[in-house]
Amino acid sequence: MGTIAEQILQEATGTDVTPGETIKAPVDLAFGHDMTLPPAIDAFERLDVGTVFDPDRTVVIPDHLVPPPDEQSVELYAACEEFANRHDLEFYPQGEQGQEHVVLPEDGYIRPGEIVVGADSHSCTHGALGAYATGVGSTDLAFAMAFGWLWLRVPKTTRIDYTGTPARWVTGKDLVLATLAELGADGAVYHALEFGGSALADLPMDARFSIANMAVEAGAATGLVEPDDRTKRYVRDRVDEADRPCTYYTPTADATYANELTIDCGGLEPQVAVPEQPDNVVSVSTLEDVAIDQVVIGSCTNGRRRDMELAAAVLEDRPVADDVRLIVTPGSQAVKRTCLEEGWLETFLDAGATVESPGCGACFGKRTGVLGEDEVAISTTNRNFPGRMGHPTSAVYLANPAVAAASATTGTITAPGTLAGAAEVS
């Protein structure tokens, strides 16, 4: 009994666990992408085990460099494809690809109560469904793929409760940025962040994924959103529980926390992280004179249906400002298809946006939308470190999709509420 993280690890190991203890944790799902899997493949081959522990629980999903922009990227993609084919693993080829942290929940791979490891720091995203999801290095991924378990240290837990009623245009991205402002970039190193509270209960699942995604920006090992009926509906629509039922853990009365934090969402403005840390957060109204060169809407943080809907609501009948580049990257092929069906794709194109292939896109400055010297971007991504999206002297501001879209239309960082007649979003 205890926190959500502790209960999952206790059930997995069949024994009581204590924060700080190292345990032999069985892995329910392991995955890697085109930048982290190839070195994991090299390490896997040295283990000489023949095949992966369970082909049904190992997923290969190229998303960072797809379509490949250079010869090296082609080689990385080919290595992933060959490994997946050789071991009969689920593989997402170009044309079916999407951002791994969007696609895996969409396609029913993430099950509440299970242990998920991915060779990507934002694997904590999947804690939005109540899974113990954590990022690991490529060598750890190799071991997990080979043997189906890893040594994990049981984390302390920091509890975050969101209260009050968020205003229009305040999203999950704003709640997690406000949280980072309170905790700091090192405020929860190797903790589990456990998210709950009355305000969070009213948030759609897409917003909850945004919150869990950025738990790592406070140093956390994982971020778990307390499951509720909304979680269960999402899972029921996607997961076949006939052979493997899901378990939904909520904290018990005797749960002990290393830290507890309450964020009052009433009166909270849209938040913006200014360069050069995700925890360097201010209200959008303090940044009205900041000129921008580029806007990025998408990523594993904000590339889902709700994010596209918010951006389209702001961009409807509004062109992108002169000398501003707008890049929109749906998180998956399914999200891109929804954009087409709902008319949001037409809205983006009419506004003057470049709509990218689903995947990581401009987030990490390697494939598309690279920033030049001294250029400024506002982005719905999760990191704004120096050089994150291109030149070392470029600057990145982090915001929600509505703020990013509003800024694209004015050429300066802009609160969507200051635009007359922005469309309502249900």
- Do residues 120 and 133 touch, judged by C-beta distance below 8 A? no
Q: What is the pLDDT along the chain (426 residues), one digit of tens a residue?
A: 799 999 999 999 999 999 999 999 999 999 999 999 999 999 999 999 999 999 999 999 999 999 999 999 999 999 999 999 999 999 999 999 999 999 999 999 999 999 999 999 999 999 999 999 999 999 999 999 999 999 999 999 999 999 999 999 999 999 999 999 999 999 999 999 999 999 999 999 999 999 999 999 999 999 999 999 999 999 999 998 888 899 999 999 999 999 999 999 998 999 999 999 999 999 999 998 899 999 999 999 999 999 999 999 999 999 999 999 999 999 999 999 999 999 999 999 999 999 999 999 888 888 889 999 999 999 999 999 999 999 999 999 999 999 999 999 999 999 999 996 655 554
Choices 3.30.460.10, 3.30.499.10, 2.40.37.10, 3.40.50.1950: CATH for 4-264: 3.30.499.10
Closest CA relative to residue 223, chosen from 133, 135, 302: 133
Helix or strand holding residue 200 (H, E): helix 198-201
Token pair of 332 as six digits: 């998956």
Identical fold for domains 4-264 and 271-418, yes or no, is: yes
pTM: 0.95
CA–CA distance, 43 with 130 (Å, rounded to integer): 30
Collapsing DSSP to helix, strand or coil, 117 comes out as strand
Q: Are strands 22-26 and 149-153 parallel, antiparallel or unpaired?
A: antiparallel
For residue range 58-88, what is the model confidence (pLDDT) as tens digits? Answer: 999 999 999 999 999 999 999 999 999 999 9
Q: Is 54 exposed, middle or buried, given 0-12, 13-18 or 19+ CB atoms closer than 10 A?
A: middle
The three-state secondary structure class of 329 is strand
Architecture category of domain 271-418 in CATH: 2-Layer Sandwich (3.30)
How would you list the strands of the sheet with 376-379, edge to edge? Answer: 281-283, 271-273, 395-398, 376-379, 294-298, 325-329, 354-355
As a dihedral over the C-alpha atoms of residue 282, residue 285, residue 289, residue 294, rounded to 10 degrees, the angle is 70
Domains of the chain by residue range: 4-264, 271-418
> CB atoms < 10 A from the CB of 214, how many?
30
